[in-house]
Structure 1
Amino acid sequence: MTIPLFGVGTFRLKDQVVIDSVSTALALGYRAIDTAQIYGNEAEIGTAIAASGIPRQQLFLTTKIWTENYRHDKLIASLEESLRKLGTDYVDLTLIHWPAPGNGVALTEYMTALQQAQNLGLTRQIGVSNFNIALLQQAIDVVGRETIATNQIELSPYLQNRQLTAFMQQQQIPVTSYMTLAYGKVLADPLLAEIARQHQATPAQIALAWAMQLGYAVIPSSTKRANLASNLLAQKLRLTDQQMAQIATLERNGREVDPEDLAPLWD
């Protein structure tokens, strides 16, 4: 089992907006879709998938368990509800959305429940999101390194997360990058603009290509057909070693997402 290197994200997209975005993405050739229980758009994504006519086996669907459903007696039921909304018998990947260290549910409990959901066939693969090194090691201790399909983390040219990604590579756990464009901030970066000029590309394509060239999966989102189509072209870019080294200098710990009570102590 593998994680697709390229997919479409749906964070902050609701109602008809998310239906249109996912429908357009599927028409353009996207086959991996990332959502979450807390996004409140699983049913609309299910509508877009059903209308597309694309066979289920050609799609890769990811959802994430929200913190209020971490207890063993709630996690599986909540995933079953997600499946009903998405209109499918299974998802390809289910993640623990945030470690939420203060919510009163032990990591052992929710990781065990997540593995049980996998054993029941509700999800093909399982993983985590927003875990630091210590918590990822705890998850490994509970379910085994080979069971964790990915750790989905905020990662961009401005937040390169080198300690965590080095640990994940050591453990052979794939990285999924979200917020790869740093809420659009990297699009105005002069260095990325110059590299984009050299490739006759866009800064967004360069940032996405950089992440994929490091072996990270990316899940950019957009409501605009032109941007969705443009982002796809990042898969065809190959940056030089010098350009990769130049982008490495952009690190500035530029974290965009750090919710109180949900986030761990970052590495």
Structure 2
Amino acid sequence: MAPGSLAILLTIAGFAAYTQTLTGFALGLIMMGGVGLSGVIALPDAAVLVSILVIVNAAQVLAKGWRDIAFRQFAPALAASLLFLGLGYVVLNLMASASLDWLKVVLGVVIVLSSIQLSLKPAPLETMSGPLSFAGFGAVAGVMGGLFSTAGPPLIYHFYRQPLRPASVRETLVAIFAINAAIRLVMVAGAGQWPTSGFWWGLLAIPVVMLATWAARRYPPPLSPLAMRRLAFLLLFLSGLSLAVPAILKLAAGHG
């Protein structure tokens, strides 16, 4: 990997981790959006890197917090997400082999829709949703996780509506995302589609993410949490549009 490309990748990773620490979401979405716009590495390789970073983050979080996992809600959501993870991964490979532009369109649309959905404050429920609802949202998350390692938005929305303690929601989500990421890495290795040797310089993002996480806790920006969330939504929305619109225009011109 060229030094300039590596510097851009590490900057994106640091910004994504800093934002996630302050807002509670967006590491995968910002990473995939930034890589899609900059082109520093291939999108399938970026999804592998995001999976690795998710597992590293989860190891830190769950080392002490695993007891807070809400296992009754965790089980159906995880089972459905794993069932549909393969579908998302197959679709990714089909699009990657057919057209990079289609890949950018789908990623851009996913980021735009996720930014809109995450900007909505979920109305809290008085009673716990049933297992089928957790399975349904888990299935959607599985497809998104298989595609781009961005399984978060559907489950974040659904879990934060439940009458659960915030710690239980956080630990449960982290556990689901980590297991999905691990299984996705197994799929990549099993399919013989492991990234090229130059990709491994991207693992320098691990200490960068750890440093950015510490910096966000120690030196938060002079913005309210609400302002920070709105900034994150805006950045995601604009990055999704910047990815999708040029690719749509290029595809339209090719068919014109």
Q: What is the TM-score with the length of structure 2 in the denominator? A: 0.28
- Where relative contact order (Cα < 8 A, 6+ residues apart) is larger, the structure is 2
Q: What is the TM-score with the length of structure 1 in the denominator? A: 0.27
User: Higher helix proportion, which one?
Assistant: 2
User: Higher strand proportion, which one?
Assistant: 1
